[in-house]
Amino acid sequence: MKIWDSHMHSRFSGDSEADPVEMILKAQRIGLPGITFTDHLDWDFQEEPGLFDLDIPKYNEEIHQLMDKYNSQDFNINYGIELGLQTHLANRHHLLLLENNFDYVIGSLHVIDGMDPYYPAYFEGKDPTSAYNHAYECMLENIVAFNEFDSLGHLDYVFRYGPAKELGIDSYDKYKNIVDEILHYIIAHDIALEINTGAFRKGLKEPNPNIQIIKQYKNMGGKLITIGADAHSPEYVGEKFDEMEKLLTDIGFKSYQVFKSRTPIDIPFN
Ligand SMILES: [Zn+2]
Ligand SMILES: [Zn+2]
């Protein structure tokens, strides 16, 4: 079966030049049942101010025009957003969601102490273990400060960067306690865990979060999962989804979720 891609970017995001129509056509070409646009909004992105200030009125208008044009019996488009969490933005995010009718909201940590670990500065002068541990601590602090999102994006994102790949640092082994606290929190608050295949393009051999973490989420009673390729260009839409279906069903998930009007819809794997 083909899986709905619940995480993708277009030229409304500061780091993508993709025409949203091209994303749609690619998804249709490979037979996906639907996609959710989740363009970036990272307010107060200090390293490149304004880069991820999403133009919401324009985004809203254009995506809804595309929905009118392309939605059919076999293919649908949902309107989502990827919110970059920072604790001081909690109230602004709360108001944003009151004022906008997104189908789906991903909460993602891209900025730690004002720095995106995508840039090397975050790791400078820190030993790797504490740099990664600190990222998880910030994630927990952020989701406690603001939990009004539907799915937690790429939980171990920070391991895409820094020395983890080179040194073979696992994103769960040394960090079990803090990762379990994060998982416990999202399960208790009915927040889904996102399975993000963008990790493979960054040279990781497993999705974000890694397989151990996905298994642990299941063991702890987690039931809600969303799946996204985090494509910033059409070629990556739906990337590695066949592998993910096998992985997730092997772990014991019988279905995955797609959010419409902020409500999870259960889609069985079969
Ligand atoms: Zn992200
Ligand atoms: Zn993304």
User: What are the tens digits of pLDDT across the range 229-249?
Assistant: 999 999 999 999 999 999 999
Q: What is the pLDDT of residue 58?
A: 98
Kindly report the backbone phi and psi dihedral angles of residue 119, in degrees, each rounded to the nearest multiple of 5, phi listed first.
Answer: -90, 145
* Residue extents of the structural domains in the chain: 20-268
* Residue 153 Cα to ligand 2 middle (Å): 8
User: What DSSP character marks residue 38?
Assistant: E
Pairing of the two strands 151-152 and 104-108:
parallel
Specify the pLDDT at position 206: 96
- In this prediction, residue 111 carries a pLDDT of 97
Report how far ligand 2's centroid is from the alpha carbon of 207 (Å).
13
Residues 157-169: pLDDT tens digits?
999 999 999 999 9
- In terms of Cα–Cα distance, which of 125, 119, 123, 89 is closest to 107? 89
- How close is the Cα of 230 to the center of ligand 2, in Å? 5
Predicted confidence at residue 68, as pLDDT, reads 98
The gap from C-alpha 234 to its chain's centroid, in whole angstroms, comes to 17
Tokens of 141: 């602090």
Residue 69's pLDDT is what?
A: 98
The Cα–Cα gap between 64 and 86 comes to: 28
Whole-number Å distance, alpha carbon 152 to ligand 2 midpoint, is 11
The predicted pLDDT at position 270 comes to: 79
Q: Which of 184, 100, 200 is nearest to 147 (CA)?
A: 184
pLDDT computed for residue 1 by the predictor = 82
Regions of the chain where pLDDT drops below 50: none
Ligand 2 centre distance from Cα of residue 231 (Å): 7
Q: What is the pLDDT of residue 92?
A: 98
CATH of domain 20-268: 3.20.20.140
Taking ligand 1, which is a single-atom ion, which protein residues have CB atoms under 5 Å away?
108
Query: Is residue 91 classed exposed, middle or buried when 0-12, 13-18 and 19+ CB atoms within 10 A define those classes?
Result: exposed
Q: What is the pLDDT of residue 182?
A: 98
What's the 269 CA to ligand 2 centre distance in angstroms? 24
Helices and strands: H and E segment counts in the chain: 9, 8
